[in-house]
Amino acid sequence: MLEPPVVIAVALLYLGLLFAVAWWGDKRADQGRSIIASPTIYALSMAVYCTTWTFYGSVGRAAVSGIGFLPVYLGPTLVMALGWIVLLKMIRIVKANRITSIADFISSRYGKSHGLGGLVTIIAVVGIIPYISLQLKAVSNTVSLLLSYPEIVMPHRSATMSVGADISFYIALILAAFTIVFGTRHLDATERHEGMVAAIALESVVKLVAFMAVGVFVTYGIYNGFGDIFDHVEAHDELRRLLTAIPSGAGYTGWFSLIVLSGLAILFLPRQFQVAVVENVNEAHLKRAAWMFPLYLLLINVFVLPIAVGGQLHFAGQGVDADTFVLTLPMSQRQEGLTLLVFIGGLSSATGMVIVETIALSTMVCNDLVMPMLLRHKRAALAESKDLSGLLLGIRRGAIVVILLLGYLYFRLAGEAYALVAIGLISFSAVAQFAPALIGGMYWRGGTRGGALAGLSAGFAVWAYTLLLPSFAKSGWLPGDFLAQGFFGVDLLRPQQLFGLTGIDEISHCLFWSFLANIGAYVGVSLLRPPMVAEATQATLFVDALSDPGQGGAILWRGRAQVSDLQELVGRFLGPTRAQAAFAAFARRHGRDGNSTPEADAKLVQFAESLLAGAIGSASARVMVASVAKEEPLSIEEVMHILDEASQLRTYSRELERKSRELTAATLELQEANERLQELDRVKDDIMSSVTHELRTPLTSIRAFSELLRDDPKMHLADRERFLGLIVSEAERLTRLINQTLDLAKIESGRADWNGCELDLKEVVEQSIAATSQLVREKEAHVEVDLPDNLPLILADRDRLIQVMLNLLSNAVKFLTPGSGRIRVTLSRRDDGLEVSVADNGPGIRPEDQQLVFEKFRQVGDTMTAKPSGTGLGLPISRRIVEHFGGQLWVESVPGEGATFRFTLPFAPAQPPADASPAA
Amino acid sequence: MSKKILIADDEQNIVISIEFLLRREGFEVLVAGDGEEALARVRAEKPDLVLLDVMMPKMNGFDVCQALRADPELSATRILMLTAKGRDTEVSKGLGLGADGYMTKPFSTKELLAEVRKLLET
Amino acid sequence: MQRRILAGDRLIAAFLAGCVLFNYPLLAVFDRPTEVFNIPLLYVYIFIAWAFVIALMAWAVERRLK
C-alpha cells in the first residue's frame, strides 16, 4: 500500500481535491454565494498557523524540552482575546483603504511610502524564507521516509548532493506550480481568494484529524492511555526531568519570549495577515474565531507530549529523529492507512502554509517592490502598454517561484543544523519586527515615515546579526569563529552574546536587542520632526479607524482628472473590461451617468486609486493616479481642516441621521401646523375684515345723517326726528356690536369670567321668557311653554344662560310673521342632562345654512325684504357658552315650517368642582 | 333732464341717507336692495350712475360691476363702488373690474357729492 | 452598545487572566514533581488553565449572541 506510486498518486489526488475545492469556492464567490461566509471557516482558515512545525516539529520540540513546545500556542490564544480590539481595527483599516498586504499596510500608514513598503517586503521575504525551508524539509523528510518503508531510515543529505538528485528541490517546484495555479489565476482588485480560503479550511480539518488519529493510536493503541505512558517515564530519569520542569535551557525568560513572539506572529506573519485580515469577509466572524482558533490549537497539542514520550520510549537508542515520530510511530507498527493519513496531514500543513505565505509574499513583492521600481525606471514603457494585468500576474508568478527556490536554498545552506521549531522561530523573530511600526501606527499619531524606516531597519539588522547570520555560521557556511569571537574579533559584538548579554536563550536575546533597537529608533526618529501632511493624513485614517465604521477615508485630494483617463489607467492594470464594469458600477452606485461628466470628482479619483491599490499597492496607485490627475497640493492646514471636519462629521453622522429623521417628521408637523395657521390667519383676516365691515356700516349711516342734519338747518321737523332716531338706533347697534365682539374675543381667548353655580334651569328659562315678553307682544306672537318641575340642577353661569336664552328667543321672534307667530319653549330631561328647545313657526333655515348660522357675522335670512337686524354674533356666542358648560347647541329646521334651536346641559356633578374650567 | 342714479345697498339706513342727499341735490334716485335687483334695474332703467355696495346679498358688488361692464349697451353707465372693506386689494379689484370710482365707508357726504358730480360730468 | 463594551471588557479580562496563568510566577508554583492521575502536574495545569481561558473567551463572545 505504501509503494511510491501509491503515495505519489494519493498526494496528487489530495492536491487535486484541494484545487477542486478552491475552484468551486471561487466560482461560488463570483456568483455572490460565498462558501466561506462562516465564522467556523474563518477560524479554521486561521489554523493555517499550524504548519509542519506543529504537525511534526512540536513532537520534536517536546522530546527535548518537555512542555517547551507550548508557548507558541499560548501567545496566539492570548492575542485572540484581544482580536476583537486589534484585529478588528486592522480589518477596518484594510477594508477602508483596500490594503492587500502587511507591506501595503505599513507603507500606506506612513504616507504611502514606496521605500517603506519595499523594506517591509524585503524583511518579510528574508524573514519567511527559513520558515518555507522548514516546510520543504519536513515534506522531503517524510517523503524519503515513506520511500524507504517498511525500513525506518533517517533521511541524510550531504551538502555536496546535486540539486537534480534532491527530492526537496522537486517538492519546491511542485509547490510553486501548485501555488501559481491556485492563487494567481486572475487578478483581483481586492486581492481576495475565497477558493483558497475554503481549501485552507479543509486542510486545517485534515491535519487536525490526522494528528488526533496518531495521538489516539499512540496513547491508546501502543500504550494504555495517558497515565500508562507517563508511568513508563518513571524508569527514565532524563525523560522525567523533562516532563516536570520548565526546560532549564530556556527558562521562564525563554518561555515568556516565545509567548510574545508567537502572539506577534499570529498578527504579522504574512499568511496570518492574509487569512485573518485581508480574506475576512465579515468582521463579526472574529468573535467565533476568538475562541474557536485557540480551541483548535489546544486540540492539536493535546497528544504532542504522549507522542513525544511514546516515541522516546519506543525508539530509545535507535537514532530516530523526534521530528519524525508522528510518522515513524505508525510506520513502526505497520499501520499503513494511518501512515498515509499522517502523510496527507503533514502535506496539508505544509501546502497550506506555502500557498498562503507565498501568495501573500508575491503580492507584496509585486506591489511594493517590483512595481515601484518599474514605475521609477520604466515609466514610459508602462505608459504605452494597454493592458498590464498580464505583466502583474507574471511578476507574481515569478515571485512565487523565486521565493520557493530561496526557501530551498536556505534549506540547503542551513536546514540541517536546526530542528524544525528552531527554524520557525527565526522567522517569527523577523516578522515581530513589524510590530512597533504597525501597532504604533494604529494607535500613535506621532509615528513618521522616517521613524518607521529607522525602526524596521534597525530591528531587521539586529535580527539578521543575532539570528540569521549565526544560523549560517552554525551550518558552516560562514566562519564559525565569528560566533565565538564576535565581529572583527570584538568580544562585545558576539552575535549571540551581544554587548556581553548572557544567560538567556538566543531567541530572547534577539527579541530584546532587536526590539530595543527597533522601538528606540522608531520612537526616537519619529520625535525628531512633526509628521508631514501625507503622514498626518494617513495617521488620522488609521488611528481613528474604529470611530469611523464602514467609511472610506476622508477625501484629501484636490485636482482635475478626466474620467476616461482614469478608466484607461485602471484598465491597463485590471483589464479594460473589468475597469469598465467597475466604473459603471461606481456610477450606478452614486447615481450618475458615467459619460455625462468628463471631469472626475474627488470621489471617483479616490475610487480609481483604491481599485489600483488592490492590484499594484497603495503607494504605486497614488503615483499612477497622480500621473493622470493634475493634483493641486493641499497645505497641512487644509488637510487637517478637512480631516477635522470629516471626523467630526463622522462622529456626528449617526446623530445627524437621527436628527434628520426627527426633522423630517417635525417638518411635516410644521407644514401641517403652518397650513392650520394659514387657515386660521385667513379666518382671522376674514373676521377682522368682517368686524371692520360691521363697524363701518352703522358708522356710515350715522355720519351721513349727521352731516345731512348739519348742512341743512331748515330740514323738515319730521325728517329731522326720523334721522335723529336712526342715528340713535345705529349707535345702539354699534355699541352692541362692540360689546359682543369683545365678549366673543374674551370667551375665545379663555379670559371670560364664568360664575359657575348650581342652577334650576326652569327658573332661568322662565326669567328669559319674561324678559322678551315685550318683543313677543310687539309681533303679536304667542309663546307656549312646557317646563316640568323638580328637574335636577345643572352647573352653569346664570347670566350667561340668560344671554343664550334671550338670543334664541329674540332670534325666533325676529323671523316670525307678525300676527300669526308661535314660539314653543320646552324643557326636558335626557339621560345625561337637560335639554331646552326653542321652536318657531317662521320661515325656517335651509339645510345648507344650518351650520352657517353659528359662524361669526353670518346672517341668514330672506334679504329680499330686509336684512336681519343683528350683529351676526349672537349664535356663535351662545354656542360657545353652552359648550363651555359641557353641552351642545344646534338647530333643526324644515324650510317653511320653522326652526327649532336646542341645547343640552349636563347635570351638576355630585361634587361640583371648585373651579369650573373650560370644557371645550 | 336730471341725471338718474341707482343706489344699490342692503343697508336700509344707508340707502335712506344717500337717497335723501341726492334727491335734495336734484337727482332722480332709484334703489335696489341686493345685487340681482341692482343688475335688473340698471338694465331696465339705464341710470347714468350706479352707487354700488360691495357686500350685498345674492350677488356682490364686484359681480354686478363685472356683469355691467360685460354689457356693451351699458358702457355709458358710470359705476361708483362703495364699500366698508377699505383695503387696497378691494379698491384695485373694483377698479380692475371696470368701476369708475371707489369710496370707502364711512364717507363724507360732501366728498360723495363731489365724486358723483365728477363722474356724471365726464 | 453597552453589551458590546461588556464583551470587550470580558475579552480583555480573559487576556489578562491568560497572561498571569501562562507565565512566571504561577507556572513555578505548579512546576513540581507531582502527578495527577499519573500525569505531570505542570502539564495538567497548563492544559486546564488554557481550556479555562478559551472557555472564558467563548463565554464573553457567544453569550450575547443568544
pLDDT at position A255, please?
Answer: 84
**Domains, chain B, with CATH or none:** 4-121 (3.40.50.2300)
pLDDT of residue A643: 45
- pLDDT of res. A234: 73
β-strand partners of A836: A827, A903
**pLDDT recorded at residue A299:** 92
Question: What's residue A518's pLDDT?
Answer: 92
Is the pLDDT at A27 greater than 90? The verdict is no
For residue A298, pLDDT over 90 is answered with yes
Sequence letter at residue A462: V
User: Residue B82 and residue B6: Cα distance in Å, rounded?
Assistant: 12
Compare A564 and A13 and report the one with higher pLDDT.
Answer: A13
| pLDDT above 60: residue B95 | yes
User: Taking a C-beta distance cutoff of 8 angstroms, is the pair A72, A304 a contact?
Assistant: no
Whether the predicted pLDDT of A197 surpasses 90: no
Q: Give the nearest partner residue to A689 out of B57, B85, B106, using CB atoms.
A: B85
* Closest CB from A689, A723, A863 relative to B34: A863
Residue located via cell numbers 528541490: A169
Q: Residue B88: CB partners within 8 Å, gap ≥ 6? A: none
Query: How far does chain B reach from its first CA to its final CA, in angstroms?
Result: 16
- Residue C46, min C-alpha distance to chain A (Å): 9
Mean pLDDT, chain A, whole residue set: 79
> Are A575 and A387 in contact, with CB atoms under 8 Å apart?
yes
A864 versus A630: the higher-pLDDT residue is A630
Asked if A117 and A372 count as a contact pair (C-beta separation under 8 A), the reply is: yes
Q: Which cell numbers in the block locate residue A713?
A: 338747518
State the pLDDT at residue A649: 46
Range in A632-636, A648-652, A690-694, B101-105 the model is least confident about: A648-652
Beta bridge partners of A837: A826, A902
Confidence of residue A213 (pLDDT cuts 50, 70, 90): very high
Compute the distance between CA of residue A119 and CA of residue A431 in angstroms, rounded to an integer.
12
CA A152, A154, A160, A166 dihedral sign is: positive
Contacts A693 to B, Cβ<8 Å: 55, 84-85
- Which of A77, A241, A261, A302 is most worth mutating to test chain C (most C CB atoms within 10 A of its CB)? A77
**Least confident range of A113-122, A238-247, A714-723, B96-105:** A238-247
Look at B17 and A704 and tell me if their CB atoms are within 8 Å: yes
User: Grid coordinates standing for A123?
Assistant: 524583511
Amino acid at A325: F
Backbone angles phi, psi at B10, to 5 degrees: -95, -5
For residues B105-114, give the mean pLDDT: 89
**Is A700 within 8 Å of chain B by CB?**
yes
Q: What pLDDT does residue A833 have?
A: 85
| E strands in B54-109 | 78-83, 101-104
Interface of A with C (CB under 8 A): 67, 70-71, 74, 77-78, 80-85, 226-228, 230-231, 240, 243-246, 252, 255-256, 259, 287-288, 290-291, 294-295, 298, 302, 305
- Inter-chain contact A246–C61, Cβ cutoff 8 Å? no
pLDDT the model gives residue B19: 92
Closest by Cβ to B57, choosing from A693, A705, A863? A863
| Inter-residue contact A270 to A432 (CB < 8 Å) | no
Beta bridge partners of residue A412, listed in sequence order: none
Chain B interface residues (partner A, CB cutoff 8 A): 10-14, 16-18, 20-21, 24, 33-34, 55, 57-58, 84-87, 104-110
Question: In A544-635, where does DSSP find H-type helix?
Answer: 563-574, 576-589, 602-616, 618-628
Greatest mean pLDDT among A313-322, A544-553, A587-596: A313-322
3-state SS of A347-411 is HHHHHHHHHHHHHHHHHHHHHHHHHHHHHHHCHHHHHHCCCCHHHHHHHHHHHHHHHHHHHHHHH
The model's confidence at residue A424, banded by pLDDT at 50, 70 and 90, is confident
User: What is the spatial distance between Cα A548 and Cα A663, in angstroms, rounded to a whole number?
Assistant: 24
Determine which of C50, C62, C63 to mutate to test the interface with A (most A C-beta atoms within 10 Å): C50
Q: What is the pLDDT of residue A420?
A: 67
Nearest chain C Cα distance for residue A22, angstroms? 30
- Taking the C-alpha atoms of residue B52 and residue B33, their distance in angstroms, rounded to an integer, is 10
Banded pLDDT at A912 (limits 50, 70, 90): very low
- A441 — pLDDT class (breaks 50, 70, 90): confident
The grid coordinates of residue B35 equal 345685487
pLDDT in tens, C4-47: 567 778 888 888 888 888 887 777 777 777 777 777 788 888 89
In the three-class reduction of DSSP (H, G, I as helix; E, B as strand; rest coil), residue B41 is classed as helix
Closest Cα partner for B84 from A709, A739, A688, A866? Answer: A688
Q: Are A33 and A191 in contact (CB under 8 A)?
A: no
Residue with cell 485572540: A80
Three-state DSSP at A505 gives coil
Q: Does the pLDDT value for residue A245 go beyond 90? A: no
- Number of Cβ within 10 Å of residue A770's Cβ equals 9
Q: State how far the Cα of A481 lies from the Cα of A485, in Å rounded to an integer.
A: 6
* Per-residue pLDDT reduced to its tens digit, A135-157: 888 888 888 888 877 777 777 65
* Top-confidence residue, C49 or A909: C49
What pLDDT sits at residue A669?
A: 80
Extract the C-alpha cell encoding A633.
Answer: 497640493
Looking only at the bridges linking them, the beta strands covering A833-840 and A899-906 are: antiparallel
**How far, in Å, CA of C29 to CA of A382, rounded?**
65
Nearest Cα of chain A lies from the Cα of B116 at a distance, in angstroms, of 15
* Higher per-residue pLDDT: B85 or A268: A268
Contact A67 C53 (CB under 8 A): no
pLDDT single digits (tens) A862-873: 443 344 456 678
Looking at residues A230-251, what average pLDDT do you find?
Answer: 68
Percent of chain A clearing pLDDT 70 (strictly above): 82
Indicate whether A427 pLDDT > 80: yes
Kindly state the average pLDDT of the residues A397-407. Answer: 90
Most confident of A2-6, A617-621, A720-724: A720-724
Residues 777-836 of A with CB under 8 A from B: none
User: Closest to A867 (Cβ–Cβ): which among B11, B17, B24?
Assistant: B11
b/e code A342-371 from CB counts within 10 Å (16+ = b): bbbbbbbbbbbbbbbbbbbbbbbbbbbbbb
A120-134, A656-670, A700-714: least confidently modelled range: A656-670
What's the mean pLDDT in A448-469? 89
Q: What percent of chain A has pLDDT over 90?
A: 7
Q: How confident is the model over A578-627, as pLDDT tens digits?
A: 788 888 877 777 766 545 566 677 777 777 777 777 777 776 777 677 76
Asked if pLDDT for residue A407 goes beyond 80, the answer is: yes
CB of A696 within 8 Å of any CB in chain B? yes
Task: Report the alpha-carbon distance of residue A441 to residue B54 in Å, rounded.
Answer: 84
Contact criterion met (CB < 8 Å) for C53 and A227? no
Supply the pLDDT for residue A412: 81
**A864 touching B (Cβ < 8 Å):** yes
Asked whether residue B76 carries a pLDDT value surpassing 80, the answer given is yes
Taking the CA of residue B54 and the nearest CA in chain A, the distance in Å comes to: 11
Residue of B nearest to A708 (CA): B21
Encode pLDDT of A382-391 as tens digits.
Answer: 666 666 777 7
Distance CA B35, CA B50 (A): 12
Q: How far apart are CA A178 and CA A212, in angstroms?
A: 27
Q: pLDDT, tens digit, for every residue of A670-688?
A: 788 778 777 777 766 666 7
Calculate the alpha carbon distances from A219 to A11, A226, A229, A306 in Å: 27, 6, 7, 6
**Per-residue CA distances from A25 to A18, A20, A78, A100 (Å):** 10, 8, 31, 20
Residue A789 has pLDDT above 60, yes or no: yes
Nearest to A337 by CA among A249, A450, A209: A209
Euclidean distance between CA atoms C14 and A547, whole angstroms? 24
CA angle A784, A796, A904 (to 5 degrees): 50
Q: Which residues of A touch B13 (CB under 8 A)?
A: 698, 701, 705, 726, 730
DSSP label at residue A713: T
Query: Which is more confident, A30 or A774?
Result: A774
Q: Quick check: B100 and A690 in contact, CB under 8 A?
A: no
> Residue ranges of the alpha helices (H) in A789-856?
798-814
Please tell me which residue of chain A has the smallest CA distance to C59.
A291
pLDDT of A363 above 70 = yes
pLDDT classification of A247: cutoffs 50, 70, 90: low
Q: Quick one: CA dihedral B9, B14, B17, B22, positive or negative? A: negative
Which has the higher per-residue pLDDT, A705 or A193? Answer: A705
**Contacts of residue A697 in chain B, CB cutoff 8 Å?**
11, 14, 84, 105
pLDDT at C66: 43
Q: Rounded distance, CA A436 to CA A822, Å?
A: 107
Distance CA A602, CA A611 (A): 14
Verify whether the Cβ–Cβ distance A246 to C27 is below 8 Å. Answer: yes
Half-sphere exposure of residue A26, counting CA atoms within 13 Å on the CB side?
19
Predicted pLDDT of residue A920: 39
Residue A834 near residue A882, CB atoms below 8 Å: no
Any chain A CB within 8 A of the CB of C53? yes
CA distance A183 to A193: 7
pLDDT digits (tens, 9 = 90+) for B37-61: 888 999 888 899 999 988 887 888 8
* A259: chain C residues, CB-CB within 8 Å: 22-23
B91 phi and psi, to 5 degrees?
-60, -50
pLDDT at residue A696 greater than cutoff 60: yes
